[in-house]
Structure formats: structure tokens, C-alpha cells
């Protein structure tokens, strides 16, 4: 196992690119008990996109829509529909996480940068993973705001009743047939993760479908990512 010189302390947040962020945020609030906690958009000086940050216990979702179609966010939605863009990790050293990942063969999605506002500062960086998905490394050692610099605390004047969701247990990465193994190799090489669990079509199948899955996990197994592919 390739040990890391930095620590991954959990899933920081998952960011979804959607065609209607306000409607999607409303859905998660009213059906699953997520509470709006922060906002970024035209009112905060962002002319490209609008984002609602939703929280429930240790779960943070960022729901983002483009304000103009001719953006990378709009292109992502055109290609994939509404879906996940970023599976972000909380780390103790964002720059070190980014540098280590690149040294091990990952491609950069965002160079480390320090962001700050009146509540303090944070450091963020990101790498590419499978498809158009990225992993952002979030370091918040000196930040006391509701989410991250650039977002304003805003509950939209709404209070939600928790449904008992506590934390993100795992995030699945579905792959085309024949690509599961190469993605697992990426996580082994770049992050030093190990294989937590493996199943095949003898374990997961119906009359019409089946899949193979390898669950990758970090050293303390707080992060788990099943990597799936279809089986004949």
C-alpha cells in the first residue's frame, strides 16, 4: 500500500451540476430534510453560476446551475444531464494532496489556491478522476464560515426537519464495460487505497442485468467508493 503523507478526513461535499438549482435544492430540502446554509450567485458577485449549499449533520451538498449556457457547467449538463461533478475530500493539507496526486500520475483540474473572506481562509485544489468527475481537496484549518469563502450564509428563510441522514457512507462510480479495473488501479496508485470488498454477477444480478463491483477504501475506511461495471 502506498501510504500518504497527508490525511483524508472524510467526504467534504458532493457538487451536482443541474439545470435548475433552486428547484433541485427545494426537492432535497422538502423530501430529505436538508437545510440551506449558504448561497453563491449574482447577489454575491458570481455571474457565471448559482449554487445552493445544503447540509444535514455531516453531509454537504452543493447544487449548482449555470447562469449562462455557454459555460463548462452548461456543457457538462448538455452531455450528462443533471449529475455529480465533484466528490470533494476534506484534507489537512490541500497543496500537498494535490502535489502528491500529480506525482503519482493524476491530472490537475485546479491548482492550489487560497481563498478568504471575513470568516477566515481555506485552500482548495482539484484533480481529475474518471469521466468528467473531479476530486477537490478542501483544507479549512483557518475558516469558521458556514461553508467556504465566496459563499454567503443564507438559510433562505426556511427551516427543514432532519430525516436522520448522518453522513455519506459511500459514493459509487459507474464505468463502461471493461473499465472498472483501470479506475481501481488509479485509486490504488494515486491514493494508496485498498480493495475493501469485491462482488460479481453471481452476487448482484437480475433476470435482465448484472454488474461487477470493487469497493475501494482509504486507510481508515472513512472513504469508500464502489467502482462498478456491467456484467454479461
Last residue of a domain, one of 97, 123, 153: 153
Domain extent for 88: 8-153
What pTM was estimated for this model as a whole? 0.95
Helix (H) or strand (E) holding 98, with range, is helix 94-103
Helix (H) or strand (E) holding 179, with range, is none
Q: What is the CATH number of the domain that holds 117?
A: 3.10.180.10
Does residue 161 form part of some domain? no
Query: Based on the domain organization, do 45 and 73 belong to the same domain?
Result: yes
Grid coordinates in use for 175?
464505468
The predicted-structure confidence for 120-161, as pLDDT tens digits, reads as follows: 999 999 999 999 999 999 999 889 999 999 999 988 888 889
71, 49 in Cβ contact below 8 A? yes
Alpha-carbon span 128 to 201, nearest angstrom: 29
Q: How many residues does the chain have?
A: 232
**Domain total of the chain:** 2
Q: What is the CATH number of the domain that holds 222?
A: 3.30.720
Grid coordinates 459555460 are at which residue?
71
The predicted-structure confidence for 17-43, as pLDDT tens digits, reads as follows: 999 999 999 999 999 999 999 999 999
Amino acid at each position: 500500500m502506498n501510504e500518504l503523507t497527508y490525511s483524508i478526513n472524510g467526504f467534504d461535499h458532493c457538487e451536482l451540476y443541474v439545470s435548475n438549482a433552486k428547484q433541485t435544492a427545494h426537492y432535497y430540502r422538502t423530501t430529505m430534510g436538508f437545510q440551506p446554509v449558504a448561497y453563491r450567485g449574482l447577489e454575491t458577485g458570481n455571474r457565471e453560476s448559482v449554487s445552493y449549499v445544503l447540509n444535514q449533520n455531516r453531509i454537504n451538498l452543493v447544487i449548482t446551475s449555470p447562469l449562462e449556457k455557454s459555460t463548462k457547467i452548461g456543457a457538462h449538463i448538455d452531455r450528462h444531464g443533471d449529475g455529480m461533478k465533484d466528490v470533494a475530500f476534506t484534507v489537512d493539507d490541500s497543496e500537498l494532496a494535490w502535489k502528491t496526486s500529480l506525482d503519482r500520475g493524476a491530472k490537475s483540474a485546479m491548482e492550489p489556491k487560497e481563498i478568504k473572506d471575513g470568516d477566515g481562509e481555506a485552500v482548495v485544489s482539484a484533480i481529475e478522476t474518471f469521466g468528467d468527475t473531479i476530486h477537490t481537496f478542501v483544507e479549512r484549518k483557518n475558516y469558521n464560515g458556514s461553508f467556504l469563502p465566496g459563499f454567503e450564509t443564507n438559510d433562505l428563510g426556511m427551516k427543514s426537519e432532519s430525516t436522520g441522514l448522518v453522513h455519506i457512507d459511500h459514493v459509487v462510480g459507474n464505468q463502461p464495460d471493461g473499465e472498472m479495473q483501470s479506475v481501481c488501479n488509479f485509486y490504488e496508485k494515486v491514493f494508496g487505497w485498498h480493495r475493501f470488498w469485491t462482488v460479481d454477477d453471481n452476487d448482484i444480478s437480475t433476470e435482465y442485468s448484472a454488474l461487477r463491483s470493487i469497493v475501494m477504501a482509504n486507510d481508515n475506511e472513512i472513504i469508500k467508493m464502489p467502482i462498478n461495471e456491467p456484467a454479461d
